[in-house]
Amino acid sequence: MIKIGVVGCGLQAATIASYVGVYGDEYEVVAVADMNIANAKSRLAEKKVHVSADCKFYADVDEFIAAKPPVDGIIIGTFCTYHTETACKLEQLGVPLYIEKPVAINLEQLKQLYNTFKNSSTPIEVSLPMRLCPLTRRAKSLIDAGLLGKVHQVVGYEDTHGEIYFSTWFRDAEKTGGMFMQKAVHDIDYLFYLTGCNPVEVCAMRAKSYYQGDKPYDMTCGECPDKMTCPEGPMTQFKEMGRYENVCEAIEKNSMRMNPDGKVGTKKFCVFSKDIAIEDIGECIFRMESGAHVTHTQNFIAKAYACRRGARICGSLATLEIDFNNSTLALYHHRNNSVERYTVDQGKLSHYGGDRELIYDYIQTIKTGKRARTDLIAGNGVMSTLACICARESADSAKFIKIEL
């Protein structure tokens, strides 16, 4: 029986906890620390997590540590601000940790985290599933087989709608560190993995361009006098975008993020609120140790068929294109007019199947002590967060920033 502890047991941590049984292992959650215990219980129930009948609930990580619960692994899913502090406190228990991304939201935290774990015997797996999903691993095998030749340029992109980021807690920049850390960190990790080396320096830009507005920060869509003419409002969503059954449902769904059980929900706020400090467009360019350039661009404006997530990797011999949303790779040869196309089934679990591998590694670490592929230290799980912190600094100072800890 695998005994799991959770610190910060919201949607994400409960989802990961629910995966602990996917390889047939018996498990149960025996200890939970959360500043909102009612929310934690609700999320565990919603995700159908196996919770021990005498599971203990604590108000914070200090109480959790003092109680010395008999756990084989601990999942950290607090708000991003607390990831470092929580992990550093838990290190002393010597139990394999699973930490959500970003592992830190500023350089000071990241140094503390790195220094705490660099010589520690406590394994710490970072939630970086994009480098583990079948599509990325197939791309890596083509690159490693030499089909592209030397890699010169990598251009990654994610264009996706921003509703969740601009209407829920993700809009609080101090809770997430901004969208490089919150979103790009996943893709920058797999882009570095494919390039096969570390970044040296970065230049970047970011801005809030589309979600400009002067609505109160805590006003819901339902409360807004302009909701029927708003470009993101219920009328547009129902009549033009074809979402929801009717305008009333659109108002309700725009104002409340319901749990699947329909019982508990959290308020959603106007995406055009003033004082939202996260960006909706962002770009960064990394100079890699190999001399290659890695670019990543993201926006939270695109919708419907305009959404995309993927990358083009240009080598001497061929260009490889990854398309996550269509599960395809295309290998365009430079020396002849041929294109090889691959469809790679993602299989089950989120992040294009990457979570299946993440949880496999975590279970192996619990059973054997073997470090995960995305371990903070052994798996270079620290690098994408470091790169994103430096990208943010570059964007905010309009300077090239050296990437070093």
Ligand X SMILES: NC(=O)c1ccc[n+]([C@@H]2O[C@H](COP(=O)([O-])OP(=O)(O)OC[C@H]3O[C@@H](n4cnc5c(N)ncnc54)[C@H](O)[C@@H]3O)[C@@H](O)[C@H]2O)c1
Helices (H) and strands (E) counted in the chain, each on its own, are 14, 17
Burial 355-380 (b: 16+ CB within 10 A, else e): bbbbbbbbbbbbeeeebbbbbbbebb
Least Cβ distance, residue 258 to ligand X (angstroms): 13
Helix axes 83-90, 107-117, angle to 10 degrees: 20
179 binds ligand X (CB under 6 A): no
Which listed residue (30, 32, 49, 80) binds ligand X by CB under 6 A?
Answer: 80
Least Cβ distance, residue 86 to ligand X (angstroms): 6
Least Cβ distance, residue 378 to ligand X (angstroms): 20
353 binds ligand X (CB under 6 A): no
The closest alpha carbon to 143, from 286, 287, 292, belongs to 292
Question: Based on CB atoms, which residue is closest to ligand X, 98 or 211?
Answer: 98
Tell me which amino acid residue 377 is: I
Q: Measured between alpha carbons, how far is 226 from 230 in angstroms, rounded to an integer? A: 6
Question: Based on CB atoms, which residue is closest to ligand X, 87 or 139?
Answer: 87
Least Cβ distance, residue 373 to ligand X (angstroms): 15
Question: Based on CB atoms, which residue is closest to ligand X, 101 or 206?
Answer: 101
Least Cβ distance, residue 182 to ligand X (angstroms): 6
244 binds ligand X (CB under 6 A): no
Q: Measured between alpha carbons, how far is 90 from 101 in angstroms, rounded to an integer? A: 17
11 binds ligand X (CB under 6 A): yes
The number of angstroms, rounded, from the C-alpha of 75 to the middle of its chain's C-alpha atoms is 15
Question: Based on CB atoms, which residue is closest to ligand X, 137 or 175?
Answer: 175
- Strand pairing partners for 124? 97
User: Position of tokens 């290998």?
Assistant: 331
8 binds ligand X (CB under 6 A): yes
Which listed residue (22, 35, 45, 107) binds ligand X by CB under 6 A?
Answer: 35
Least Cβ distance, residue 349 to ligand X (angstroms): 12
The closest alpha carbon to 384, from 129, 162, 90, belongs to 129
Candidate ranges 31-39, 141-149, 236-244, 302-310; the one touching ligand X (CB under 6 A): 31-39
Which listed residue (3, 41, 47, 101) binds ligand X by CB under 6 A?
Answer: 101
CA–CA distance from 12 to each of 30, 40, 76, 188, 312 (Å)? Answer: 18, 11, 9, 20, 30
Question: Based on CB atoms, which residue is closest to ligand X, 12 or 195?
Answer: 12
Which listed residue (57, 79, 342, 360) binds ligand X by CB under 6 A?
Answer: 79
Q: Measured between alpha carbons, how far is 159 from 310 in angstroms, rounded to an integer? A: 9
Least Cβ distance, residue 239 to ligand X (angstroms): 30
Question: How many other CB atoms sit within 10 Å of the CB of residue 217?
Answer: 12
166 binds ligand X (CB under 6 A): no
Q: Measured between alpha carbons, how far is 18 from 40 in angstroms, rounded to an integer? A: 13
Binding string, residues 210-229; x marks residues near ligand X by CB under 6 A: --------------------
Helix axes 11-19, 37-46, angle to 10 degrees: 40
Interface size with ligand X, residues (CB under 6 A): 24
Strand ranges (E), 22-150: 27-33, 51-58, 73-76, 97-99, 124-126
**Is there a contact between 127 and 16 (Cβ–Cβ < 8 Å)?**
yes
Candidate ranges 34-42, 48-56, 278-286, 290-298; the one touching ligand X (CB under 6 A): 34-42
Question: Based on CB atoms, which residue is closest to ligand X, 292 or 363?
Answer: 363
Which listed residue (34, 232, 283, 357) binds ligand X by CB under 6 A?
Answer: 34
Helix axes 185-195, 383-397, angle to 10 degrees: 110
Least Cβ distance, residue 197 to ligand X (angstroms): 24
394 binds ligand X (CB under 6 A): no
Binding string, residues 39-78; x marks residues near ligand X by CB under 6 A: xx-------------------xx---------------xx
Which listed residue (2, 5, 10, 204) binds ligand X by CB under 6 A?
Answer: 10
Give the up-direction half-sphere exposure of residue 402: CA atoms within 13 A in the CB hemisphere. Answer: 2
189 binds ligand X (CB under 6 A): no
Question: Based on CB atoms, which residue is closest to ligand X, 7 or 314?
Answer: 7
The footprint of ligand X (CB under 6 A) covers 7-13, 33-36, 39-40, 60-61, 77-80, 82, 100-101, 127, 182
